[in-house]
Structures are given as structure tokens and as C-alpha cells.
Structure 1
Amino acid sequence: MTEFVRTGTPFSVLLLGLITGIAFGFVIFKIGASRYDKILKMLLLKDFGVLKFMMVAVAVGSIGVFLTDSVIYIAPMQWMRLIVGSLIFGVGFALLGGCPGTVMVSLGEGKKDALYGILGGLLGAALYAHVYPVMDKLFIAPYNLGKMTLYSALGVSYGVGLIIWVAVFAGGAFLIHKLFVPGGKKESAGVNTQPAKDV
């Protein structure tokens, strides 16, 4: 990653990012993950469709990174920043009904409220950059555990760590699909199971 910053990102990497980003955005749009009501139902534990999609996406993306030997920046494990950042992100996610990825899809759909989310994210990032030196000394550096991955924490190889990671996310999505359904009713795969009414 530092090499990319120093020399510039190769065009092939940028092109691959553009293509996969468009494809991922299309899937987000098709499954309705950019809709506020879908996000709200997920957070209220009433509809797990978006959650299953996110878990499968993490599993598939992890396999893709492994097979293509892609360069990934591993951020240090700074647990205080993770806790506070997760809380802020969760509140924003619930209020806006989208994350940095889905909000871009919403903007592409013409939803004007997505623009406020994008502007808020940019302003928040700029504010964080300005206060980072102070935050780093008080809340980040003292709680920095260094770079940590699943396979390094478990003391196994990268491949074994990947298998465990994929099994957790893909298996979790499968269990959620089997155990939980929207509104507590059996999913019918889009087929209307209600008896036909007399006309």
C-alpha cells in the first residue's frame, strides 16, 4: 500500500476497482440494500436480507483477495478508536439508512438525502484529520495493539485463516437464512402463498 502511495496506483488496479465497484453497486441496488426501509428493518431485526448479503459479500471478497494476491492495507488494532468509531458509524447508519457504499448507490438512484450523508462524511473526515494529532496522543496510540489479523491471532497460516473466516461469514449467512425470516413468517421466495380470493 505504501508503495502505491509513493509511486501511484497502477491503471490496471484502478480499472479493476472501477469494474468491481460498478458491479457491486448494481447488486446493492438490485437487492434493495440502498433503501432506508430495508436498512431500518435490518437494524430492528425484522429483515435479515441485507445482513445476509453483507456476510456473503465479505466471504466472497475475502476469497477474491486471496486468489488474486491483492494488496491490502492492514490497519493497526486500535481498540479505543474502533469502539468509538463503531458507535458513531452505527448511529449515522441508522439515521441515514446507508453506509459510505450504499449511500453512493442511493445518490445514483437520485435520492437527494444521500447527498447530505456524503457531505457529512466528507466533513467528518476533514474534522477527524484536523483533530487526529490530539486524539492520537490521548485515545489512539496508548491503546494500539499493532497490526493484527485472524490468522496471526490464531497462529495459523493465511490459507487456514481464510477458511475459518469464510466458514464463519458464509455459515452465519446460511444459519440466518434458515433460522430467521422477515416478520417471523416463512419465506416463500417471491411466491404468493395466500389463497386466491373469489372475484
Structure 2
Amino acid sequence: MRSLFFDNIPLLGLILGVLFGLGLYYAGATNRVVISNMLKLKDLTLMKIIIFAIGFSMSLLYISVALKIISIDHFGIKPMNIGVVLGSAILALGFGMIGLCPGTAIASFGAGYLKSIYVILGGIIGAFLFTISYPILKSIGLFKEMLGGQTTLFFLSEKYNFIFYGTPWIGVFIGFVLIVVSLIIPYSLEK
């Protein structure tokens, strides 16, 4: 018997996307002023939420790997290259200037901030321009692997390079450290 939710990938994606958008809205990540205040270190509430979420999900992921609930074959490690570094820098620059990134812009639009359509359209146009320029960018070596290519933080499998040798339990420990850090960070650096 087929499951309506788990076998229907578009429906599952839509449901998870809506839930993620609601989470962004609830956390304040759809409000560009909240994001700007976080980036200016005026209000660290959203930063605390993000660090907690990274630590929590990292802990769950590495526990699942350690207990063999999730197979390492389900992982797809993207290779590090100059294109990733440059693309990240462009994203960070736009994120800092506008206070929205493509994901938060979609949720922001859904929350009623209609001007976020410009960020969404910019992302679509940027993706189109990247697609048509990809062969040229590849030919000049922009996507040549660097820093070991497909590299993980910890040893997970012989398939991937790694920085530290250890068990997935180290990942669980780091996840817990991030959770503690998120609880220690003050809500604001202003007095």
C-alpha cells in the first residue's frame, strides 16, 4: 500500500516547505528588520534560534548515523570549489545589504511583505544567468575541486575525505556544544 505523503515527493515537499516557512515566520526570519538587527548584532534572538537549530539537527543526524538509523549512502557531500566560495560571498553580500536570502524571501512574501518579490526575481534571474554561463565558468576552472573536494568534518565513510578522524559521537558532542552556546549567547550586545 502506498503512503499518500511519503511516496508523493511533490506533496511531501510542499508540506515540508510550508512547515519550514511557518517556522521561519515564527522565529522572525521572514522580517528583514529582524534579520538586519541580527547581522548588526543588535538583537541576537534569531541567531540563538539558528545556532540551536544547527546544534539540535546536527546531534540528531549524527546520533542517527551512529545508531545506523540513517545510512551514510543517503548523504550527498557537495565538493568544495572556488565557485562555492564566490557564490557564498555574493549571497552573504546581498543578505547583509537587503536582510533577506532566497529562502527567507519566499517565506517573507508568503507573510505579506510583497517587496520581497524583488529578491525572489533576483534569485530566479541569477539562477538563469548562472545556468547559461556555467560552461564558460567551468572552462576557466571555477569549479575545480579544492580543499579535498568532497570533505566531511569527521570520518563517515571511505567515500569521503575528512578533517578529523573519530566517530559520529563527536558530531553529537559538537551539536550539544552548539545548543549550550545558543543558550549562553545574550539576546542583545547593547546595554
**Range class of TM-score, shorter chain:** 0.7 to 0.9
What residue in structure 1 maps to residue 159 of structure 2? none
Cα pair distance change 1:127/1:168, threshold 3 Å: farther
In structure 2, the partner of 1:113 is 115
- Select which of 15, 19, 25 maps to 1:19: 15
Q: Is the 8 A contact 1:81 1:140 kept in 2?
A: yes
- Mapped contact 2:59–2:176 kept (Cα < 8 A): no
User: Which whole-Å CA distance do the structure 2 matches of 1:84 and 1:168 have between them?
Assistant: 30
2:90 alignment partner, one of 88, 91, 110: 88
> In structure 1, which of residues 75, 99, 117 is the aligned counterpart of residue 78 of structure 2?
75
Q: Which letter does structure 2 place at the counterpart of 1:150?
A: L
Matched, 1:54 2:50: yes
Return closer, same or farther for 1:92/1:74 CA change in 2, 3 Å cut-off. Answer: same
Matches within 5 A, 1:31-180: 31-66=27-62, 67=64, 69=70, 71-78=74-81, 80-136=82-138, 137-141=140-144, 143=146, 145-151=148-154, 152-157=162-167, 159-176=168-185, 180=186
Q: TM-score, normalised by structure 1?
A: 0.73
CA contact (8 A) 2:80 2:150 kept: yes
Q: Which moved more, 1:46-55 or 1:163-172?
A: 163-172
Structure 1 outlier segments of 4+, above 6 Å: none
Q: 1:30 to 1:63 in 2, by over 3 A?
A: same
* Structure 2 equivalent of residue 182 of structure 1: 188
Number of residue pairs matched by the alignment: 171
The 1:93/1:109 distance shift into structure 2, 3 A limit, reads: same
Q: CA RMSD in A?
A: 2.4
* Shift, 1:53, TM fit: 1.3
Cα offset, 1:58, TM superposition = 1.8
The TM-score normalised by the length of structure 2 is 0.76
Task: Please state whether the residue corresponding to 1:98 is helix, strand or coil.
Answer: coil
Amino acid at match of 1:69: I
In the alignment, structure 2 segments of 5+ residues that lack a partner are 1-5, 155-161
Unaligned runs of 5+ in 1: 1-9, 186-199
Partners of 2:30 and 2:107 within 8 A in 1: yes
Identity of aligned residues (%): 30
SS in 1 for 2:77: coil
Contact map agreement 1:40 1:97 (CA 8 A) in 2: yes
Any conservation in 2 of the 1:150–1:161 contact (CA below 8 Å)?
no
Query: How far apart in 1 are the matches of 2:177 and 2:94?
Result: 27
Q: Which moved more, 1:88-97 or 1:37-46?
A: 88-97
- Per-residue deviation, residues 36-91 of structure 1 (Å, max 9, x unmatched): 1111111111111111111122223334445362733210122x223322221111
Shift of the alpha carbon at 1:182? Answer: 2.2
Amino acid at match of 1:104: I
Is the CA contact (8 Å cut-off) linking 1:106 and 1:114 kept in structure 2? Answer: yes
